[in-house]
Amino acid sequence: MRYISTRSEGAPRQFCEILLEGLAPDGGLYLPERYPSLRLEDLSRLRTIFDQDGYANLAYEVLQFFVDDIDASDLKALCVRTYTEEVFASPLIAPVRALEEGLFIQALSNGPTLAFKDMAMQLLGNLFEYQLSRTGKRLNILGATSGDTGSAAEYAMRGKKGVRVFMTSPKDRMSAFQQAQMFSLQDENIFNIAIEGVFDDCQDIVKAVSSDLAFKTNYSIGTVNSINWARLLAQVVYYFAGYFQVLSQTGLNVGQKISFSVPSGNFGNVCAGHVARMMGLPIDQLVVATNENDVLDEFFKTGVYKVRTSANTHETTSPSMDISKASNFERFVFDLLLRDSGLTKSLFDDQISNKGFFDLSKNPLFTHLKEKYGFISGKSTHQTRIATIQEVYAKHHQIIDPHTADGVWVGRGVAQRGTPMVVLETALPIKFASTIVEALGKEPPRPSKFEGIESLSKKVLNLPRDVGLIKELIKANCND
């Protein structure tokens, strides 16, 4: 399998060539040349593998459709090393539980940082180390985080040979729990940098350093943001695992359809569902559940994709979905436009840059979108999330986090009788304790390994908002 960019017809590239990259050189995103197409007997075989040999072996089977340039035995070993009960706190890795008639929750949030980003980032850490060691290269990852992404990246890259992580975050803006999670890491290859400013300041610093091409090349600067293809690919696996578990729990047969409801921000998670569906996984609806930052809900309802200004980007109680544009969305639009890279480029490059929006409402491809791709959307508000958390607790004695509450709220609203709906649980409630206290009047339970983390000693460097100082820090501490 080779990979092409959504914006050009340049020469296709191999998986390991794009592994360490974010955007393609033309500004587009990478996608496989075509999607593998699975028949019912293939699905039955994968189901048997999952049931008998577990998640790691299923991950290998899904990945090998997309990866030609890693030996099969190495790829399998990487999957087996990544998806362990020890790291994901469950032998099923992404276990499905029934919440109520027709509605299931799939936990993607039992990894080291208690958010779904671990599902992909843990594999990425092992893939990076593998690729760097066989090419003799080094990587200095520079990132900006307001919480989930940075900690998932650090826990995935800690101790990995050839990799260093320089992670900026806005000083005193993360929750005490999030700060403790990141800053308590004492690994030599992890550098936490608290910047005097807000998240956008951190992102600006990363952009400024990355756009200094000489610096970027000399110091092997890379990123781990959500547009990385390998991250998206790793996420495809849990849609298969969720499907097979629902079959076992309901007695349905391979081939019968189920739906997924996905709390969405940058469209990475639900885009993996789109890839699974394109491969032939029997998915009926793919529910794009947004919060008040409803760029995606607006598109799926109207055909207009309009990015928000930072003044129009709301700070909500589901902060990991607070986005002004959805950075993976171009991948789906490319498929929707029957892979017309010229048109995709004109929409995202010209129209978004010049007008801030594009409008596909009159395009017949948009009119048939729902039948052809299964996408449907909805949004939650602070009130509906709080009410959902309260109601799920009262009825089922389960505490769900505000992002998962968004998925439950929107998913219930569009579920079809007779078709199971699986809501993806993207974080554990302890990460967003203050909202749980607001809803339920008490703290959510804390997994025992996180007891007392706020009092661990912290390794963090405080710096002013200064690109030059960050560069000095990287120079002095980087891999070379």
Ligand X SMILES: *Cc1c(COP(=O)(O)O)cnc(C)c1O
Binding flag, residue 380, ligand X (CB under 6 A)? no
Distance CA 401, CA 245 (A): 22
- Select the span of 175-183, 265-273, 302-310, 382-390 touching ligand X (CB under 6 A): 265-273
Binding flag, residue 267, ligand X (CB under 6 A)? yes
Instruction: Please give the structure tokens belonging to residue 10.
Output: 């340049």
Q: In the complex, what is the shortest distance from the CB of residue 219 to ligand X, in angstroms, rounded to a whole number?
A: 28
Binding flag, residue 291, ligand X (CB under 6 A)? no
Please identify, using beta-carbon distances, which residue of 259 and 435 lies nearer to ligand X.
435
β-pairing, 461-463 vs 283-290, is unpaired
Please identify, using beta-carbon distances, which residue of 421 and 474 lies nearer to ligand X.
421
Please identify, using beta-carbon distances, which residue of 131 and 404 lies nearer to ligand X.
404
Q: Mind giving me the DSSP string for 101-161?
A: TTEEEEE---STTSBTHHHHHHHHHHHHHHHHHHHT--EEEEEE-SSHHHHHHHHHHTT-T
Q: In the complex, what is the shortest distance from the CB of residue 432 to ligand X, in angstroms, rounded to a whole number?
A: 8
Binding flag, residue 264, ligand X (CB under 6 A)? yes
Distance CA 156, CA 370 (A): 36
Per CB under 6 A, which of residues 420..459 are in contact with ligand X? 426-427
Please identify, using beta-carbon distances, which residue of 129 and 425 lies nearer to ligand X.
425
Binding flag, residue 148, ligand X (CB under 6 A)? yes
Please identify, using beta-carbon distances, which residue of 220 and 269 lies nearer to ligand X.
269
Residue 305's alpha-carbon distances to 112, 134, 319, in angstroms, are 35, 42, 21
Measured torsion, CA atoms of residues 328, 265, 351, 345, in degrees rounded to the nearest 10: 0
> In the annotation, is 117 catalytic?
yes
Please identify, using beta-carbon distances, which residue of 195 and 428 lies nearer to ligand X.
428
Q: For residue 314, report the phi and psi dihedrals to the nearest 5 degrees.
A: -85, 145
> Among residues 197, 298, 281, which one has the least CA distance to residue 242?
281
The number of residues that bind ligand X (CB under 6 A) is: 17
β-pairing, 357-359 vs 304-306, is antiparallel
Q: In the complex, what is the shortest distance from the CB of residue 405 to ligand X, in angstroms, rounded to a whole number?
A: 11
From 28, 150, 268, 420, residue interacting with ligand X (rule: CB under 6 A)? 268
Binding flag, residue 122, ligand X (CB under 6 A)? no
Distance CA 192, CA 205 (A): 14
From 47, 277, 403, 412, residue interacting with ligand X (rule: CB under 6 A)? 403
Binding flag, residue 269, ligand X (CB under 6 A)? yes
What is the dihedral sign for C-alpha 82, 455, 180, 165?
negative
**Which residues lie closer than 8 Å to 480 by C-beta, 6 or more apart?**
138, 219
The residues that touch ligand X, with contacts defined as CB under 6 A, are 115-117, 148, 226, 263-269, 320-321, 403, 426-427
Active site residues: 117
